[in-house]
Amino acid sequence: MQLKRVVVTGIGALTPIGNNLSEFWQSLLDGVSGANLITQFDATKFKTRFACELKNFEPTNFLDRKEARKIDRFTQTALVASDQAVLDAGINKNNIDVDRAGVIFGSGIGGIFTFQQEVMEYAKGDGTPRFNPFFIPKMILDIAAGQISMRHGLRGPNFAVVSACASSTNAIIDAFNYIRIGKSDIILTGGSESVICEAGVGGFNAMKALSERNDEYTTASRPYDMDRDGFVMGEGAGVLVLEELEHALARGAHIYCEIGGGGATADAHHITAPHPEGLGAKNVMIAALNDAGMVPEDIDYINTHGTSTPLGDGAEVKAIMHVFGEHAYVLNISSTKSMTGHCLGAAGVVEAIAAIQAVVNDIIPPTINHFNDDPELDHRLNFTFNKAQQRTVNAALSNTFGFGGHNAAVIVKKYVA
């Protein structure tokens, strides 16, 4: 089979450092931290009292008030990002075949706000079951994909992808595969997550996964720094419009970049900890390179998983050294989680968007909040600390890893006719 080429023709981004693509990208270049004290609930009794929340996001500015009440926050953000992407791509029900246009969308947790609210209300009562009729359809993970398809009238493939923090990268890879084997012309793909609530923060605190740097929250996300103490929770959504190349050219679409390839592996090691030698991370980068028909020297930039956890950052660096060898000292590395926090199931697409923008603009966004070198890491590597760097970026690789040992990586590259 002759595989078809797949390009990106639309982008939507709703992030802790910008509510659209241009705001997000400028904040990345400026090294803006999205961290602040939590506003969505009273976190004063929690070990972690800060997060990277969305700023100035009012769902009813974008969605009908009555409809907004029927969907969880993770779906609200997904719809807003999808609107941006569809508008950016210039597609509508009249200029595409909606039966060949689909939605493949990811989330790690889904409607935890709704689940928490309904259970807490029930617990306050006398045991009589009184639940909102929208409880289940608000909570289930696949509802964001379903709502996006209904909003835009897309009747092609439609499903949700769940692989913890690798979810939206896996969704992008699935969408890429559906198009390149000819099953679809266009797919809206990406992910959303919104878990900054008592259950979300309390659960991750209990695992000792979150930073507890409450007095220095704006600098708490410190990937590759000696004093990193855990990740900072983020939220948001990102949507990419993936399109078959000839289809995009026929309708005169703007093309951001081409999807080169993707890979997916498992650590098969531990429920939350990475393989200490980065085995799964190594294998997924090799798989992505092989799928793209590329060699390590073709990659100019890696947007790393880089969560700011003591174990995770070191394991990923080991994997990069193994795969890229001497070329590891030539390419740029950065973790944009230092600014956005960890958007969990949305992290993959948010970081893929950062990688796409690096390819389009030939600028590497920085890893901010670096203060002290970790002697366990090889600092001959260019971690792009604290300041953006200009360089030609022909191809970039984006890594995401999730609890359960899930690994996914996608390669984006400059579009060449």
Residue that is written with structure tokens 């500015």 in the block: 61
Instruction: Work out whether the CA dihedral 261, 303, 306, 377 comes out positive or negative.
Output: positive
267/275 Cα distance (integer angstroms): 6
Read off the DSSP letter of residue 42: -
| CA-to-CA dists, residue 257 to 6, 175, 227, 395, angstroms | 9, 15, 37, 9
Which residue among 152, 247, 275, 305 is the active-site one? Answer: 305
CA dist 163 and 68 (Å) reads 27
Residue by residue, DSSP assigns 156-211 as S-EEEE-BTBTHHHHHHHHHHHHHHTTS-SEEEEEEEE---SHHHHHHHHHTT-B-
Is 257 a known active-site residue?
no
Q: Check if the beta carbon of residue 201 is closer than 8 Å to that of residue 48.
A: yes
DSSP conformation letters of 281-308: HHHHHHHHHHHHT--GGG--EEE----S
Q: What is the DSSP letter of 366?
A: P
The three-class DSSP label of residue 337 is helix
How many angstroms separate the most distant Cα atoms in the chain? 67
Q: Point out the catalytic residue in the list 52, 152, 165, 370.
A: 165
Burial of residue 228, with CB atoms counted within 10 A of its CB: 0-12 exposed, 13-18 middle, 19 or more buried = buried
* DSSP bridge pairs for 413: 258, 395
Q: Catalogue the active-site residues.
A: 165, 305, 342
